[in-house]
Chain A
């Protein structure tokens, strides 16, 4: 039995169809078409895999957001990982998602093939065992992810301090969701005179919200006039979330709501939030691949933990110069809802999942990669 087929049957097709009907009926009452951004790459994946755009009426359009931590990693940071991993006394540890992302020297996979000791772990805590087994090596944990994985890195920092482990340091690449949402609706795009983003509403991320609570989106309905519905990962969840957004437009409401109630609350996981607060501070700018510098959207270790910060410890070998994104890549426009992947002139030719050029192609949740894989469904 094929797992793929099973999955396709699995997500309660009848419920999805029922939602499609409700949505089609409600959509007739819309005064103008609406564009919904799913912030999270997990949602992009669900939407494309289950062909949800096909099930929806023409006046509902998806804009695929930047919520893929691998895709948003700029070349500068990948280069750091690469350079660190090439040090003879270093073991670079990271999550498996990072393996293929190309920097200017190549990916971590390439570093590995040149003899670097790069290890991909299931959990950040696995680094402790690696450190104990390799006392003469320096373990560098290359930390990635949104609010979801930041507290896990914080736990590792806490354990390193508590257990007095002398040979683990951290290269921090954690980013935060609300700041990039603000950037997407509030900033001017570099290519156009008048900024014209098309985002009317957001499907809020699932796992980020488990940690942070839905409270982090309070300002979007209030200050930016954009409804947010925090939605789960399953296709039924996504259809339900869309239907909730539609209802808001029809009833002239603009609110923050939670569809994914089984794990998300307004306040979220307070212990995890306290851990983030204890060990991390904001950096004034973090460069997102495809989007450029986004104010206040990145984190670093607090000053008092500078001895654990690889960017401090290894500052002499880590370059700080900015590297341009590829000129033909239009990821920034895609993320702002101003273009679709197939409008990129090198989509599927020079840029494809095996040879990604821009951020949206590097991981399967990126918009371009999802279009490439499931494009025949469109």
Chain B
């Protein structure tokens, strides 16, 4: 199922077409082509979906979710962490 893990924007490409996000310590690129230019800034939390930033997440709620996820993920080793994120990427419900 979709965890909808909030990801933090850590870098924005020069042409602003994509950004690098940090999802629970794992970094990857995501397209910004669905967002208005300058909508997304470094440090923002975003919701990812099939390689795209879908929207910004309200900071306060994002921090709350992250704290919860962090408590759980602290119990996991790196391999399991990667597995969770991969599972979220391959979420069967991601098309809705």
Which residues in A have some Cβ–Cβ distance to B below 8 Å?
Answer: 1, 3, 6, 9-10, 12, 40-42, 45-46, 49, 67-70, 95-97, 122-126, 144-146, 148-149, 151-152, 155, 158-159, 205-208, 210-211, 232-234, 261-263, 269-272, 275, 363-365
A124 to B19, CA, bound (A): 17
CB-based contact A262/B62 at 8 Å = yes
CB-based contact A124/B50 at 8 Å = yes
A152 to B1, CA, bound (A): 20
- Residues of chain B within 8 A of A49, CB atoms compared: 1
A145 to B5, CA, bound (A): 21
CB-based contact B83/A206 at 8 Å = no
- The answer to whether A205 and B96 touch (CB under 8 A), given A233-B2, A262-B57, is yes
CB-based contact B1/A123 at 8 Å = no
- The answer to whether A155 and B58 touch (CB under 8 A), given A122-B50, A145-B96, is no
- Greatest chain A CB density within 10 A among B36, B52, B76 is at B52
A207 to B49, CA, bound (A): 9
Could you list 26 A-B pairs, sorted by A, with CB under 8 Å? A3-B80, A6-B75, A10-B72, A41-B96, A45-B93, A46-B1, A68-B93, A70-B95, A96-B90, A97-B94, A122-B50, A124-B50, A124-B51, A125-B51, A126-B51, A145-B96, A146-B96, A148-B96, A155-B52, A207-B94, A210-B47, A233-B93, A263-B4, A263-B47, A269-B54, A271-B35
Minimum C-beta distance from A18 to chain B (A): 15
CB-based contact A210/B54 at 8 Å = yes
A232 to B47, CA, bound (A): 12
Identify A145's interface contact among B52, B68, B95, CB under 8 A: B95
CB-based contact A269/B34 at 8 Å = yes
Within B27-41, the residues touching A (CB, 8 Å) are: 31, 33-36, 39
Bin the interface of chain B by size: 35 or more
- The answer to whether A42 and B54 touch (CB under 8 A), given A123-B31, A155-B34, A233-B4, is no
CB-based contact A208/B89 at 8 Å = no
- Greatest chain A CB density within 10 A among B33, B36, B65, B89 is at B33
Interface of B is mostly: loop
CB-based contact A211/B61 at 8 Å = no
A29 to B50, CA, bound (A): 43
A332 to B74, CA, bound (A): 45
CB-based contact A365/B93 at 8 Å = yes
Which residues in B have some Cβ–Cβ distance to A below 8 Å?
Answer: 1-4, 31, 33-36, 39, 47, 49-52, 54-58, 61-62, 65, 68, 72, 75-76, 80, 83-84, 89-90, 92-96
CB-based contact A365/B55 at 8 Å = no
Minimum C-beta distance from A310 to chain B (A): 19
Minimum C-beta distance from A251 to chain B (A): 26
Which A-B residue pairs are the 5 nearest by beta carbons?
A123-B51, A262-B61, A145-B95, A42-B93, A69-B95
CB-based contact A146/B57 at 8 Å = no
Minimum C-beta distance from B79 to chain A (A): 11
- Greatest chain A CB density within 10 A among B55, B84, B96 is at B96
Minimum C-beta distance from A270 to chain B (A): 8
List 8 additional A-B contacts (Cβ < 8 Å) besides A9-B72, A126-B51, A148-B94. Answer: A12-B68, A95-B95, A144-B95, A206-B2, A208-B96, A233-B3, A261-B58, A365-B93
